[in-house]
Amino acid sequence: MSDLLIYDASAENESQIKVDKDYGAADDELSIDSGYPEGGRDAVMAVIGAFLSGVIHHGMVNLTGAFQAQYARDELRGMSQSKISWIGTFLSFLYFFAAAPIGRCFDSTGPTLLLTAGSVLVVMGLMMVSLCKDYYQFFLAQGVAIGLGSALVSYPATCCLAHYYDKKRGTMMGVATTGSSVGAVFFPIALNKLIPVVGFPWAVRIVGFICLALAIPMVLVTKARLPRRKFVGWRNVVDFGGLRDIQYVLWTLGAVMTGLCLYTPYFYAQTYSERKGYSTNISFYIVAMMNAASFFGRIVPGLVADHVGAFNSMAIFNTLAASVLLCWLAVSGPAGLVVWGIAYGFLSGNFLSLAPTCLAQLTADMTKYGGRSGLTYGITSLGVLGSGPIAGALIDANHGQFEHMIIFAGTGFFGAGMFYWAARFAGNSRLLVKY
């Protein structure tokens, strides 16, 4: 493997560092172009790679609701909702918490090694879930292995995409994150349909083989554009520079509140439907319908962001999503649940597509994007960690009723919206401007 001479963008002066061919550079001396390609073969491949990573990652995250209902019905029957929810919640928590070291490793190593390791963990974790019998086994296989694997699959692909686009970043992030909706729709339906036919163990194994088939092309097409930064130790695993910026702090507090509330409906919508006695056609498909709506809820906010700005778009859509979440209290009957689920799915999809764009806007030096996003998502994990267990405890304390959980999640989501608005006006105090 030949050594290349490049410009170290994180240093004050030009220096020579070694870069693998994984970064797609030629075998000549080159300097880093500070502009963004905004297109080209590698840029398109980055979008495809991010799309495939979204299919895998969010497929695993949104299997949580199906797993939660399945465990409560069979494998972990008789256990409280709050305790069972720790499995899926820890998966989501680990995804966010691991962002910090993964972001730093990405800055230093590039995407290929990380994506490969993540793919192995996701597939291996699913195979282990198919063999589990006890609670701790499900926790380790689903919560730990699949959670860490999902993080390793997701972050490097998203970071690579941010290297290629600036003006079109909102739109391309939106397009790429539609893969999240595809995975979130497909995998829960597939699992629920396969379980009655082949049984739970083989249903999970089939899902694992599908993930393997998606992971191979994802690893092959994802390449970074910017040079790696020199790894100087784990002390620099996150970029704490953002904590001196009030706008970044406000936005991150909003992200924490979002983590606490965003996924609650996705975790419990199927259980809610089953508790209400709705048909299996509604119970099995409600989460899939929410995620189908979020397919458009990832594209539209990105398109809006390219015209009004990412901060404006995110604050608006987040506030609307919080309003709809509280409308869950007024749902009556299966038709009402479907209408509510589609509306919430559409409006809540903005965080996943706009968060990377907002973070990029808050990061002046894009060679530090991995470390900055790692810090943000690491902090956000604290909210995610409490989301499922708190919601489950509220359901258990209210004798299986969902009203207290809905009020908690809806008001918390409103709090997130207020922080996003505060961050937006901290960056630009004028109202009718693109920001």
**What element of type H or E holds 191?**
helix 178-198
Q: What is the pLDDT along the chain (435 residues), one digit of tens a residue?
A: 333 322 233 333 333 333 333 333 333 333 344 566 777 777 888 889 999 998 998 899 888 888 988 898 888 888 888 889 899 889 988 887 887 788 778 877 788 889 999 999 999 999 999 999 999 999 999 999 999 999 899 888 887 877 777 777 667 777 887 787 788 889 988 998 899 999 999 999 999 999 999 999 999 988 876 666 666 666 656 677 778 888 889 999 999 999 999 888 988 898 889 888 888 888 888 888 988 888 788 788 888 888 888 899 999 999 999 999 999 999 988 999 999 999 999 998 888 778 888 888 887 776 677 677 778 877 888 888 888 889 989 988 888 889 999 999 999 999 999 999 999 988 888 887 787
Q: In Å, how far are 47, 167, 300 from 157, measured between CA atoms?
A: 8, 19, 21
Count of beta carbons in the 10 Å neighbourhood of residue 253: 20
Q: Are 162 and 366 in contact (CB under 8 A)?
A: yes
pLDDT at 337: 94
Mention every residue, 6+ apart, whose C-beta is less than 8 A from residue 79.
Answer: 71, 72, 135
Can you tell me which residue has the tokens 């209400």? 276
Name the pTM for this structure: 0.74
Cα(354)–Cα(306) distance, integer angstroms:
11
Domain extent listing, the chain: 1-34, 35-427
Cα(281)–Cα(335) distance, integer angstroms:
12
Q: Are 276 and 70 in contact (CB under 8 A)?
A: no
Cα(154)–Cα(377) distance, integer angstroms:
12
pLDDT at 31: 38
**What element of type H or E holds 114?**
helix 112-129
pLDDT at 32: 43
Q: In Å, how far are 107, 146, 231, 241 from 238, measured between CA atoms?
A: 11, 23, 12, 9
Number of H-type helices and E-type strands within the chain: 17, 0
Pick the CATH number of 35-427 from 3.40.50.300, 1.20.5.440, 1.20.1250.20, 3.90.1150.10: 1.20.1250.20
Two tokens at 423? 């961050």
Two tokens at 299? 């594209």
- Sign of the CA dihedral 87, 89, 95, 98? negative
Q: Are 102 and 158 in contact (CB under 8 A)?
A: no
pLDDT at 127: 96
Query: Could you tell me where the DSSP H helices lie in 262-333?
Result: 264-275, 280-308, 310-326
Cα(41)–Cα(48) distance, integer angstroms:
11
What DSSP designation does 263 have?
Answer: T
Count of beta carbons in the 10 Å neighbourhood of residue 135: 16
Instruction: State whether residue 99 is helix, strand or coil.
Output: helix
Integer-rounded Cα radius of gyration of the chain? 21
Beta strand segments in 219-360, E: none
Can you tell me which residue has the tokens 């995975």? 183
pLDDT at 27: 35
Short-list 49, 50, 47, 4, CA closest to 24: 4
pLDDT at 45: 87
